[in-house]
């Protein structure tokens, strides 16, 4: 097998690998689109649902993924000195921090739930009162349940977390999980819905329900995969035509010379042709007038 054939085989294999890679990337984006559709379905099904008791949604510590964003109504008290700052959680394109705290339910057996109470625009200091919890005794609140977030391995300053991981929230609050007065809910947390935050805390935003661009990206990857072989064929034909022209020029215009390809006219070429035609017409008209009238 000569060098030219080896090179051709290599190019074909490279194009085939590129097309296959584009196909898999398209499938990956399609899978992400399907996951996003499922997430949006859960949000739209649960977000505006009527509040139900916590025990109905979470009889144990596990939260069913299909019940994420479900509003639950709980009665109990805020645990004093449990305020913790959740850092770097943007809201409305603003760099924001959130106020987390622990809420102890009155149900039997009692449970301690981490609750996101609202947010403030993040600065170098925590606004006065942002992490203080109400001390009015027993109260009823409505929260939307969210799945707990993975443990952040970074070393956080005291009183700060970067993810809503309930055991980490308790640890950073300085409290002892054994002294909370109830079992800590470790697999979920709540986002306050009622009463709405007041004072320095802003209301939590509604979740994003856009499907994003995963499906569009999938179609683009598949188009690239299909276009690669077509582009290769076009390129091969142009290379062969240029090679034939070069051979014909080297042979000095032999019997098998290949006619040169016409260059596509540009706008400048077309304008020059129009001006040349106008000048030629004017010269012809002047010559005709001279023939009719003779020299002056």
Closest CA to 123 of 94, 81, 157: 94
Residue 147 lies inside a defined structural domain of this protein: yes
| Model pTM score | 0.75
Residue 249 lies inside a defined structural domain of this protein: yes
Q: Report pLDDT for 284.
A: 62
Among candidate residues 159, 194, 229, the one where a domain is terminated: 194
Q: Report pLDDT for 77.
A: 97
Number of domain units in the chain: 2
For residues 67 and 106, membership in a common domain is answered with yes
Q: pLDDT digits over 223-265, tens only?
A: 999 999 998 888 888 888 888 888 888 887 555 555 555 555 5
Cα angle vertex 110, ends 104, 115, to 5°?
Answer: 30
Q: pLDDT digits over 263-277, tens only?
A: 555 556 656 666 666
Which range of residues forms the domain containing residue 229? 1-47+213-281
Q: Report pLDDT for 130.
A: 95
What span, in angstroms and rounded, lies between the C-alpha atoms of 114 and 163?
12
DSSP 255: T
Residue 286, pLDDT above cutoff 80: no
For residues 174 and 218, membership in a common domain is answered with no
Phi, psi of 98 (to 5 degrees): -115, 155
Q: Report pLDDT for 9.
A: 81
The stretches of 94-213 forming alpha helices (DSSP H) are 166-173
Q: Is residue 116 within 8 Å of 192, Cβ to Cβ?
A: yes
What span, in angstroms and rounded, lies between the C-alpha atoms of 117 and 124?
20
For residues 135 and 71, membership in a common domain is answered with yes
What span, in angstroms and rounded, lies between the C-alpha atoms of 78 and 136?
9
Q: Report pLDDT for 231.
A: 86
Closest CA to 132 of 195, 183, 81, 173: 81
């Amino acid at each position: 097998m000569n060098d030219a054939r080896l090179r051709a085989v290599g190019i074909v294999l490279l194009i085939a690998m590129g097309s296959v890679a584009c196909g898999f990337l398209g499938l990956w984006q399609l899978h992400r689109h399907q996951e996003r559709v499922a997430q949006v379905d859960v949000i739209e099904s649960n977000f505006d649902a009527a509040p139900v008791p916590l025990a109905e949604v979470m009889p144990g510590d596990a939260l069913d993924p299909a019940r994420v964003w479900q509003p639950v109504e709980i009665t109990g008290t805020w645990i004093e000195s449990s305020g913790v700052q959740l850092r770097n959680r943007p809201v409305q394109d603003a760099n924001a921090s959130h106020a987390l705290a622990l809420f102890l339910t009155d149900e039997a057996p009692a449970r301690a739930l981490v609750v996101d109470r609202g947010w403030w625009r993040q600065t170098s200091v925590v606004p006065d009162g942002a992490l203080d919890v109400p001390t009015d005794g027993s109260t009823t609140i409505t929260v939307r349940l969210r799945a707990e977030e993975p443990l952040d391995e970074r070393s956080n300053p005291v009183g700060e977390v970067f993810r809503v991981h309930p055991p980490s929230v308790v640890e950073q609050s300085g409290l002892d999980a054994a002294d909370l007065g109830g079992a800590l809910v470790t697999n979920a947390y709540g986002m306050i819905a009622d009463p709405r935050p007041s004072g320095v805390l802003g209301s939590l935003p509604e979740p994003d329900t856009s499907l994003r661009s995963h499906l569009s990206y999938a179609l683009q990857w598949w188009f690239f995969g299909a276009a690669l072989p077509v582009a290769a064929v076009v390129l091969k034909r142009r290379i062969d035509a240029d090679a034939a022209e070069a051979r014909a020029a080297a042979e000095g215009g032999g019997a098998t010379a290949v006619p040169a390809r016409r260059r596509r006219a540009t706008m400048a070429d077309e304008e020059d042709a129009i001006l040349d035609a106008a000048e030629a017409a004017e010269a012809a008209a002047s010559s005709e007038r001279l023939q009719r009238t003779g020299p002056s």
